[in-house]
Structure 1
Amino acid sequence: MIDNFAVKFGRYGGLFVPETLVAPLADLSIAYDRLKKSPQFQDELKALQKDFAGRPTSLYLAPNLSRKLGCRVYLKREDLMHGGAHKLNNTLGQALVAKNMGKTRLIAETGAGQHGVATAIVGAKLGFETQVYMGEVDIERQKMNVYRMELMGAEVIPVRSGSRTLKDAINEALRDWASSFEHTHYLLGTAAGAHPFPSMVRDFQSVIGQEAREQILEAEGRLPDSIVACVGGGSNAMGIFTPFLKDDVRLIAVEAGGRGPGMSDKMADNGASLGYGTDGILHGALTKILQDPYGQILESYSVAAGLDYPGVGPELAFLAEKGRVLPRLADDRTALEGFRALSRLEGIIPALESAHAIGYALREPESLGDLVIINVSGRGDKDLATVMDYENN
């Protein structure tokens, strides 16, 4: 169903949820609309961003990568955030909303583990009981992040249903929230799902683009020709794209091409919902999803756990349909090339998610223009075992 408080992006978005979730979503929407206008709330959030999370993050001119690509390449260094990824921007904001609503417990889903870590961080910082749902497949490939969550007091709950990855972790978290919302806040990690999550997550992540806009104008005296970001659900992409939407800047959204372009009849074999998806409902919103002709959700795949998701945020689906955001693919091999290249050229080990953006730039430098910003959404410590296994197989 669609209630009248639900925001839509063109035909995408909305509120397609069981009746049990309408009330908590409405309460969250009302609370967020009130708090985002509160100077006290904004001051508390900015103080945490600066003193606890380490903002602003740097915009780094990468000289060696620039020479290789034949253009000036700046990296927005979200890997330097406390916790090692952009995810803390959102968890700090949502946890403060939950605190103001009187909630005492946080639940979250995670794929690559970075959102789970960021949720564990704010749970410890702000005194919440914290539980994180994580697919068994992702638990196995992200053992270090599981330990980090547990070290900070969060309970990691294995999800054994479906593909045992991010999609299924979200399903389990939603089931939990439906029966516990009186004292629990569901801290969704990406700019997807039912309203108000796509708008709220975008707003909290847009600090990335706000900083990048000011920093590039100071460094170069003009805006970039293009901005490149990886896309799973879309939080880091919407975070850096949003402040540039009205500007003449190419916004390139690099999705997971998986083992290579194309889909089989049994498995998407990628995470490219913008490139290969069709209209459907996933996790409470109408958006682009990977599905078979009968409307069954396909199993997505990517070497990067955070991009292993068969849908995308509704606002990104809308912007891609309008042509404002340009969907592109980077398969596993391209991502691994990006991972190695940034490590060797600049001494920066990126997350495998971010490496898709780097790999695309290496493969398609002519699409970037003379001045480009690439969003390095996270650091790659969590992925070292995955890369070593990939290279040994």
Structure 2
Amino acid sequence: MKLHLPEDFIVGSVTAAYQVEGNNTNSDFWAEEYADGSPYKDKSGDTIDHYRLYRKDIALMAELGLKSYRFSVEWARIEPAPGQYSRSAIAHYRDVLLACREYGLVPVVALHHFSSPQWLMRYGGWGSEEVPQRFADYCRFVFSEIGGLIPYVLTFNEVNLPVMLREMFTTIGVIPPVGIAGESWTAPEWRASAAALCGTTADRYITFHMISDDSKIAILAEAHRRARQVIKELNPGTKVGLSMALSDIQSVAGGEEQAAAKWQQYFGQYLPMLEGDDFFGLQNYTREVYGPEGRVAPAAGAELTQMNYEFYPEALEQVIRKAAGALKLPIFVTEHGVATDDDSRRVEFIRRGLEGVTSCLKDGIQVIGYLHWTTFDNFEWSAGYSMRFGLIAVDRETQERTVKESARYLGRVAATGILSE
């Protein structure tokens, strides 16, 4: 029996600016890489040189059959100094959008994917009450220039990730899917060095990954609200949302209360932020199981990914169902992926994940698309280049792209809508 996706279902892949563009020297992450004692395994450098090769890359995505490309606009490039906007940078992203149109890819744009301008740290970073207006001003410039080319926008990628990071680093020491190692949270000495490189002190150095207490979450919520207001003012037709990283929270006997508390912490407390949004960006990689003593390790013999979490593509369906039960918004799967050198397992991960999506669709849950993380093997933050999430491999000496079978498989699904026999 063939499983079909709806004709208007959007299938594509994702990148993040800092991880693929290269030489993002104005970003706070660049400072973290070069700080004394930095835990980053590699320097990002040219990464995969996507800032130069984007047209060839977009043409390749289209050739494979993909129908959508999600990428991020880099605030540190657009506004290299407070209130000073770069015409060359906005022209670059305009051409990325035009290339998507030329090759028939639906663009999905994230206005913020973890990285921020270094100068923001001098104002107190994401702990400053000035941030919502500064972020809204940046969004106003972007949308006044290129908003008419953007059908879908995420103001922020994974608003809940800082809370997940705090929990993982302080309680169980698990590395989360985004590739941020525990040292990135717990080593104040190198953070002081990173702060100095940004022209400030450690107490004012509040990166996006540190938005994990009530006051900072409130600042983030206000930044999202103001950004959405600006976007709708300038281009009412753009669909606006944000994304969350959501593991499938499960329990064994005695762990029900802990699991419920985690789901509230990771998802429920952020629901007020979605009021007024057009869609919800859902991102899933694995599951978390809780017992009476806390999180339960994967069973002996369970398949683990390079990130050392459980290979469990069925989590996607379960998270969609849980989120749909609390939302009245369309759900867009804006990330789903696996770090592995065995590409056959990536094909399996995609197939089983999409089988879960079709099950949700059959039950009337409104899921509008599936975007795979990630298009290319790239820079995975403090994990450097050691993790392989990509549909396409990259030789970083030559920047040659090599298409994997997973890319061909997802391209066939995107082109035909047929999932499996």
* TM-score, structure 2 normalization: 0.31
Higher RCO (CA-CA < 8 Å; seq separation 6+): 2
The TM-score normalised by the length of structure 1 is 0.33
